Amino acid sequence: MSAKADKTGSCSFCGQTKIIQVPEEWEQGQINEAVTCECECEQAQAYAKAKERKDKAKKRVNELFGGGAEKPVAEDVVNLLIATVDAIEDKHMKGITVDVGHGVKAKVSKMAKESIKVERSENKKTTYEE
């Protein structure tokens, strides 16, 4: 485990500086990011919430579709869904539905209350023709 050190960083929005304990090997950009996420200015709080939403949604994508899933899908599909999370949070799109085959559909979308919904649906259809 890496040693901790007191480092000074500044909020990317209001410029307020703060001394925080971080791993010694952290670069200044990482320190500033941590300080920004802890800052109490309005823009920093909105940024921290958006970052948390993205991180949670990406984690959920990996849980539902990645290597740890019961039935994982191709890695390039997982990467597409993760990129979609970024695009949704950056307000470039509202959502996406991907048919990955075998009756599995992946859906990532922005909800009304700003949350990001990650959904996996599997359709089982049995048809008999005689």
Spatial contact of 108 and 85, defined as CB atoms under 8 Å apart = yes
Q: Tell me the per-residue pLDDT of 55-112, one tens digit each, with 9 for 90 and over.
A: 999 999 999 999 888 889 999 999 999 999 999 999 999 999 999 988 899 999 999 8
Number of separate domains in the chain: 2
Q: Is 48 left (phi over 0), alpha (psi -120 to 50) or beta?
A: alpha
Same domain, residue pair 11 and 59? no
Same domain, residue pair 57 and 106? yes
Same domain, residue pair 91 and 113? yes
Same domain, residue pair 57 and 118? yes
Q: What is the pLDDT of residue 125?
A: 63
Paired residues of 23 in beta bridges: 4
- The C-alpha atoms of residue 16 and residue 13 are separated, in whole angstroms, by 8
Residues of the domain holding 108: 51-122
Same domain, residue pair 23 and 60? no
Q: What is the pLDDT of residue 3?
A: 86
- The C-alpha atoms of residue 110 and residue 4 are separated, in whole angstroms, by 37
Same domain, residue pair 68 and 89? yes
